Amino acid sequence: MGIVGNFISPVLMSRFGRQKANLISILPALLGWIVFVLANSVPMFLVARLLHGLALGLRTPLAAILVAEYTDPKYRGAFLGTFAISLGLGIFLSHIWGAHLTWKVTAMVCAMFPVIALGIISLSPESPSWLVSKGKYDEAKKAFKWLRGDGVEQQAELDAMIEAQKKEKITSEREKREEKKFLKKFVDSIKEVMKIFKKKEFFKPSIIAISMLIVFEFGGAHMVPAYGNDILKAVLNKKDASDVVWQFTVIDLLRTVCAFFAIFLLKFFKRRTILFTSGVMTVLSLTSISVFVYLRQSSIVTNSWFLDAVPMTLMVLYTLSFCLGLVPLTWVICGEIFPLAYRSLGSTLSTSFLTPSFVVSMKTAPHLYSSIGVQGAFLVYSALLTVCLAIIYALLPETKDRTLQDIENSFKGKNGKDIESEVALMDKDVVK
């Protein structure tokens, strides 16, 4: 259902706008919790989970786009970084509530979040970028002013976005008129889609986003919260889950604290600096944990104090490395890199890889742990992260404090004005 939601989301975003699509995505989440609370059979629980999957699938492509389009370039990273806070805090609170409340009461508490979200979203304006893409320039100006004010920098950003969209529309209309002279409508549509996939400003961001989402999942964003007991038992050489309770709580707390600190890192440091520092440290810490476990199993390391202190230190290092950079930056980068004309399609294409990555990582983890051990699985994840980070290193430009239009131009290979569009504007036939 997550994948289904991924592909419905761009239709809702393009047709009804970001704000209304966001409202629609809340409804199955709220309904899912209601069904969950009232359920008294397994089929009803499954229905609730299907509704939650649909809600997550609808929201995943939408959330990063909406936040990126709402916020000022100076603060965009910080706002997108709050996704990591939501993830860390949600996992931590769920563990706490689940340990001390009944499942029905826990579900009722969780149901309050969609209710609060409905109120906030209802009072929010439509995305100025979407309004511009639909040619509703006056409405876009009002929404932009409400969100960002009317300073000189803000006005310049809005003017640049409107101008770029006008040029894009003129160029697009000219191409359509020329193509319709020779091709049938169906063939036109296929060709148009293929042209989009060939454009640098579309396929490069797509590859980056897909690589980031794979790093996010196989780096342990969901595996560690789900299989944390098994991982810690293997790494710390404990026999029972009760032996790693306080260690698991420490990891949960660190994840949440790191998400808050990441906001400040995103404010003061460049995206690429944070991303690759975090990536290298994550790979090194996972590899170090794996090597240590192999050494312990081979009886090369036998000092009792060393056996107790080092593995937990390495787990803390891994959590800090991963949660301070890779987790928050996944949503930051996915929200920043797609061009306005293909933002819905690009976000959907990339985030549609999130659910399969989630399923593959979660379903293969227990089999890897039982066959090659946690230490072997960590080596596999390290290798996968290294490949993805190398791809990102080659393709990703610096995006900090840059407007979305400026980032789009960098993927197009343009530093200044769009010369092609300016020539099109000068074409008398196009003007007519």
Handedness of CA 103, 105, 111, 112 (dihedral sign): negative
What's the CATH class of domain 2-124+199-401? mainly alpha
Tell me which residue of 23, 37, 31, 34 sits closest to 1, measured CA to CA.
31
Q: What is the pLDDT of residues 227-258, one digit of tens each?
A: 888 888 888 888 887 787 788 888 888 888 88
Handedness of CA 381, 386, 391, 393 (dihedral sign): positive
pLDDT score at 19: 87
Q: Is the pLDDT of residue 374 over 70?
A: yes
What contacts 173, CB < 8 A, 6 or more positions away?
none
Q: Is the pLDDT of residue 29 over 90?
A: yes
Q: What is the CA radius of gyration of the chain?
A: 24
Q: Is the pLDDT of residue 224 over 90?
A: no
Contact 382, 290 (CB under 8 A): yes
Number of Cβ within a 10 Å radius of residue 229: 17
Q: Is the pLDDT of residue 127 over 60?
A: yes
Across the chain, mean pLDDT equals: 81
CA 350 – CA 189 distance, rounded (Å)? 21
Q: What is the pLDDT of residues 50-102, one digit of tens each?
A: 999 999 888 887 887 888 888 887 777 778 777 778 877 888 888 788 878 88
The token duo for 389 is 């980070």
State the Cα angle at 240 between 235 and 245, rounded to 5°. Answer: 75
pLDDT score at 188: 55
pLDDT score at 185: 53
CA 414 – CA 432 distance, rounded (Å)? 27
Q: What is the pLDDT of residues 382-428, one digit of tens each?
A: 999 999 999 999 988 888 878 777 887 877 776 544 434 443 444 44
State percent of the chain over pLDDT 70.
85
The token duo for 353 is 């890889």
CA 369 – CA 234 distance, rounded (Å)? 9
Instruction: Tell which wins on pLDDT, 264 or 184.
Output: 264
Question: Alpha helix locations (H) across 219-270?
Answer: 223-236, 245-268
Query: Residue type at 141?
Result: K
The H or E element containing residue 290 is: helix 271-297
Helices and strands (H and E) in the chain: how many: 21, 0
- Arithmetic mean of pLDDT, 313-335: 88
pLDDT score at 193: 55
CA 314 – CA 294 distance, rounded (Å)? 14
Strand, helix or coil for residue 189:
helix
Tell me which residue of 406, 393, 6 sits closest to 207, measured CA to CA.
393
pLDDT score at 176: 54
Q: Phi, psi at residue 421, to the nearest 5°?
A: -70, -35
Provide the residue ranges of all domains of the chain, joining segments of one domain with +: 2-124+199-401, 129-198
State the Cα angle at 54 between 48 and 58, rounded to 5°. Answer: 145
**How many Å from the N-terminal Cα to the C-terminal Cα in the chain?**
47
What contacts 99, CB < 8 A, 6 or more positions away?
none
CA 221 – CA 358 distance, rounded (Å)? 9
Instruction: Tell which wins on pLDDT, 183 or 348.
Output: 348
Q: Is the pLDDT of residue 160 over 50?
A: yes
DSSP assignment of 151-196 equals: -HHHHHHHHHHHHHHHHHHHHHHHHHHHHTTTS-HHHHHHHHHHHH
The b/e string for 166-188 (b: 16+ C-beta within 10 A; e otherwise) is: ebbebbeeeeeeeeeeeeeeeee
Contact 66, 32 (CB under 8 A): no
What contacts 242, CB < 8 A, 6 or more positions away?
none
The token duo for 5 is 């939601």
Distances (CA, A) of 43 to 3, 39, 49, 257: 21, 9, 10, 38
Find the helix packing angle between 223-236 and 245-268, rounded to 10°.
Answer: 120
Local confidence band at 194 (pLDDT 50, 70, 90 cut-offs): low
State percent of the chain over pLDDT 90.
24
CA 337 – CA 217 distance, rounded (Å)? 20
CA 91 – CA 225 distance, rounded (Å)? 7
